[in-house]
Chain A
């Protein structure tokens, strides 16, 4: 039983990471109706910036903060240079345009940081496990990820629901022209929203950096999962993204932990270890297909459109 709790905590941690990515994606998609495949590249850049600045300043926290600022600037630059011309175009153009950006960013990172990839060393005090419950050990750093992501989720909720910027963002989503006619520079607002999306992706990247190596193309696999999350959750709905992220995180991790044992009953050890993780990944896509068939607009279809 304790083992199940430990695995569910791992699932929650993956869910948190997915939420960070999905929140950025669904915010940008909900507001600007823009499919941004390059969101994974911003995740990668966040990790690279954090690794570089942490090495420079010698402190994890300073590295993280500088990384967030750098990712914000890159995000806004990308919006002004490339994304702004894509508004109003159909989604195929978005997919292709941002697909090109992925190739560009991967190669740019290789040019600047070289092919080998980097590591982001954790401060030594993080290198311990915490006894969350009697007999249940959980790495301290992963708790930090869960807690900090919850904080970000709260911050995001307050920003969108309680502040004027949040009101303008939601208003812009439903009637962009009218917000302009009331004296708000909607173009600038969109740049800020895109920058916010980039920061969320960068934050997810730098939080994940110490657990995975920072390498080119690290954003692409997780990007597909993030898209799955916003589709299940309902595009444009941050609440939906949170629920769906938890769902996907738990299914993937618990699936990866228990399916191989389950399959070992009727498959050889090796075959089970191969089929197990593959099947748990498939589970997520079956879930997606299943939900879309019955709820073509996701669980919490955004009310705005």
Chain B
């Protein structure tokens, strides 16, 4: 477990409720700059709730969430995003009434004036299929294209940590492979990523460290190699 000090994102025993029903019962995880971490678990275990708590969409009740050393649990989601968290939400949620180009440009920003910021061309280079669809309305894009658009839109804010919630959910295998390929290229470029997904095998090849969550608590954590060596964890918590 890397020490909390130089972690980019440090979540410690966070509890979150929807109205009266509690979902998270003390989640703790961390992401070190440049590292790719995954958060795995069966449906309804609190994966998306964890993301929503980190992004301030469903504020956590207790516990601490620190990003780059700053406590962000109480901040509104736009202030959290400004600090450098790029969200690719579950269900993609592109803006249907804007064109693809507008989706990318509308919320783009280079708040920490990074030397080589993301531009329209760089995103199109990463996702060539988007290049041809720049002028069409987002709701006319296919599922895969919308997923790429959602990722591109997050990248255009030049985030320090990219969070992908079920980024390959419901996509055809060919498209899914293309997405993994792009993510690998991002990882190679040094982008720190937190991925929430289900296909364990792809994640083992791709990510550095993993957290497994069960009924709102982290029940296992370790490197890819350690995860590969414990099939019973995969079976018991991930239903493989």
Of A168, A170, A171, A173, most B-chain CB atoms within 10 Å: A171
Q: Is residue B208 contacting chain A, with contact meaning CB distance below 8 A? A: no
A181 to B96, CA, bound (A): 16
Q: Across the interface, do B89 and A184 meet the contact criterion of CB distance under 8 Å?
A: no
> Interface size of A by Cβ–Cβ distance < 8 Å?
20
B95–A174 CB distance below 8 A:
yes
B 176-225 contacts with A by CB, 8 A: none
Residues of B within 8 A of A (CB): 55, 57, 76-78, 81-82, 87, 89, 93, 95-98, 102-103, 105-107, 109, 111, 153-154, 157
Closest B residue, CB atoms, query A303: B97
Interchain CA distance A185-B78 in the complex, whole Å = 6
Main secondary structure of the interface of A (DSSP, over half): helix
Residues of A within 8 A of B103 (CB): 171
Q: Contact check, A181 vs B57: say whether CB atoms are below 8 A apart.
A: yes
Q: Does A177 contact B (CB under 8 A)?
A: yes
Contact partners of A174 in chain B: CB under 8 A: 95-97
Q: Is B106 within 8 A of A168, CB to CB?
A: yes
What CA separation (Å) do A81 and B205 show in the bound complex? Answer: 54
Complex contacts, B102 vs chain A, CB 8 Å: 167
- How long is the Cα–Cα vector from A304 to B93 in the complex, in angstroms? 13
Considering only CB atoms, which chain A residue lies closest to B55 in the complex? Answer: A181
Please name the residue on chain A nearest to B83 by beta carbon: A183
**Which residues on the A side are within 8 Å of B57 (C-beta)?**
177, 180-181
Q: In the complex, which residues of chain A have a beta carbon less than 8 angstroms from the beta carbon of B55?
A: 181
> Can you name 20 A-B pairs with beta carbons within 8 Å?
A164-B106, A167-B102, A167-B106, A168-B107, A171-B95, A171-B103, A173-B97, A179-B107, A180-B76, A180-B77, A180-B81, A181-B89, A182-B78, A182-B81, A182-B107, A183-B81, A183-B111, A184-B107, A303-B96, A304-B97
Q: How far is the CB of B211 from chain A (nearest CB, A)?
A: 22
B82 CB contacts on chain A under 8 angstroms: 183
Residues of B close to A177: CB separation below 8 A: 57, 77
Instruction: Determine how close the nearest CB of chain A comes to the CB of B224; give it in whole angstroms.
Output: 29
* A286 vs B82: C-alpha distance when bound (angstroms): 51
Is A181's CB under 8 angstroms from B98's CB?
A: no
Q: Name the B residues within 8 Å of A183 (CB-CB).
A: 78, 81-82, 107, 109, 111, 157
Asked if A121 CB lies within 8 Å of chain B CBs, one says: no
Query: Which residues of A, 147-201, contact B by the 8 Å Cβ criterion?
Result: 164, 167-168, 170-171, 173-175, 177-186
Q: Knowing A181-B55, A181-B57, A182-B154, say if A304 contacts B96 (CB, 8 Å).
A: yes
Cβ-defined contact, B107 with A170, below 8 A: no
Q: Mark A265-305, 1 if CB is under 8 A from B, else 0.
A: 00000000000000000000000000000000000000110
What distance in Å separates the Cβ of B184 from its nearest Cβ neighbour in chain A? 24
State whether B106 touches A175 (Cβ < 8 A).
no
